Amino acid sequence: MHTIYNFVSGPLAWLAFIIFIGGSIYKIVTMAKLAKKKDPSVYEYWDTGFALRSIAVWSIPFATVNWRKNPVMTLVTFAFHISLIVVPLFLCAHALLWKEVFDINWWYIPNGLADIMTLIVIGSCIFFAVRRSIRHDVKYLTSKSDYLILLMVAAPFVTGFWAYHQFPAYRLMFILHMLSGEFVLAAIPFTRLSHMLYAVFTRGYIGSEFGAVRHARDW
């Protein structure tokens, strides 16, 4: 168990970070190069001011018509994404890791809050899965991989919650927590989770086109 722990928390963690960072850079650079070659106009019409305007508006809950039209989805989406980013970065235990490995003093959130946010992530994943299976239009778009991704995202939170609260077999869960977390991290650039990398650009581009060329709002 101990060797597995060492492996998972040591080399494998490094590997996951390397794949995530390296993969993300690779993906963004190759897309940027491809765009330069095949869609040069994307650069010509990019307007940072209007791109930021669009990103800003869409980053505020209920600021857009579509956010307002789907209040539950909006609440869940924002709560989910905020929790998804905040918990792994600012969990007390993770902050200790930052300190231990990189000697960085990092902010952290109270454990009670982290617990709530973890449950939000898990609950949101369940919500998304149910939504996928009952709404006709979403069901029509859904493939197995969509459920798989939800499972992938939920896994580190479920296992982390489990391990933290020392439910039965929590040592195993702890290793599974690290494993699944590393897996998700490494998968970001290469699965649909890459929307995390691209969203800024797709949103920014349509914001540029709507703002600078078409003089219209895109929300």
Partner 1 sequence: MTDSSSWDWSIGKRQIADITQWKETFGYVEEPYVSPDGEKIAAIIKTEDMEFSVCENGNAWENAFDKVWFLRYSPDNRLTGIVSDTAEWTLAVEGEAWENKYDFAWNTIFGRDGKSMLLMTQADGEYSVLINDVPWEETFPYMTNLAGNADATRAAAVAQTIRFSEGDIFAFQKGCYTVAVDGKVWDTNFVNVYEPVFSADSAHVAAQVRTSLYDYTIVVDGEPWPAVWPWVWKAAFSPADGSVTAPVKTPEGWTLARDGHVFWGQRFAQLWHHVYSPNGMSIAAIVAPKYGHWTVAIDGNAWKKTFNDLVTDLVLSPSGRRAACAGKENDRYTIAVDGTPWPFHCDMAWEPVFSPDEQHVAAKIEKDGQFTVAVDGKPMKAQFKNLWNPVFSPDGEKIMIRAIEGSGDKETYVRQVLPLTEILG
Partner 2 sequence: MGEPASKIEVKNIKDIGLDEGAARLTPERIEKVINEVIDNETGARLKVYVDTCVHCGLCSEACHYYLSNDKNPVYAPAGKVKQTLWEIVEKKGKVSPDFIRRAAELCYTECNLCRRCAMYCPFGIDVAYMMLTMRRICHKLGVIPQYIQDTAQSHSATMNQMWVKEDEWIDTLFWQEEEAAEEIENLRIPLEKEGAEVMYSVIGPEPKFRAQLIYQAAVIMDVAGVDWTMPATPGWDNSDMAMYTGDNEMMGRLKKEHFETAMRLKVKKIVMGECGHAFRSVYDMGNRAVGWKMPPVQMVHALEFYYDLFKAGKIKVKEKYDKPVTLHDPCNVIRGRGLHEMARYVVNKVCETFIEMTPNREHNYCCCAGGGVINCGPPFRDKRVYSNRVKADQLAATKKKGVEVCIAPCHNCHGGLEDIIHHYKLGMELKFLGDIIYEVMEKPE
Three-state DSSP state, 91: strand
Considering Cα of 141, then 147, then 152, then 158, what sign does the dihedral take? Answer: positive
User: Is there a contact between 17 and 185 (Cβ–Cβ < 8 Å)?
Assistant: yes
Q: How many residues bind partner 2 (CB under 8 A)?
A: 50
Minimum gap (Å) between residue 131 Cβ and partner 2: 8
Quick one: which of 31, 20, 26 has its CA closest to 188? 20
Q: Is 169 in the site for partner 2 (CB under 8 A)?
A: no
Q: Is 73 in the site for partner 2 (CB under 8 A)?
A: yes
Minimum gap (Å) between residue 35 Cβ and partner 1: 12
Q: Which does 32 bind (CB under 5 to 8 A by kind): partner 2, partner 1, none?
A: partner 2
Q: Which does 53 bind (CB under 5 to 8 A by kind): partner 1, partner 2, none?
A: none
Q: What is the total residue count of the chain?
A: 219
User: Is there a contact between 13 and 178 (Cβ–Cβ < 8 Å)?
Assistant: yes
Rule CB under 8 A: choose which of 99, 135, 165, 171 binds partner 2.
135
Q: Which does 215 bind (CB under 5 to 8 A by kind): partner 2, partner 1, none?
A: partner 2
Q: What is the DSSP string of 111-167?
A: HHHHHHHHHHHHHHHHHHHHHHHH-HHHHHH--HHHHHHHHHHHHHHHHHHHHHTT-
Minimum gap (Å) between residue 211 Cβ and partner 1: 18
Nearer to partner 1, 44 or 103 (CB): 44
Considering Cα of 192, then 144, then 184, then 120, what sign does the dihedral take? Answer: positive
Considering Cα of 28, then 219, then 57, then 42, what sign does the dihedral take? Answer: positive
Minimum gap (Å) between residue 79 Cβ and partner 1: 43
Binding site for partner 1 (CB under 8 A): 40-41, 44
Number of other CB atoms surrounding residue 40 within 10 Å: 9
Q: Is 219 in the site for partner 2 (CB under 8 A)?
A: yes
Interface residues with partner 2 (CB under 8 A) are 31-32, 34-35, 37-39, 41-42, 44-45, 54, 58, 65-66, 69-70, 73, 77, 132, 135-143, 146, 192, 194-195, 198-199, 201-207, 210, 213-219
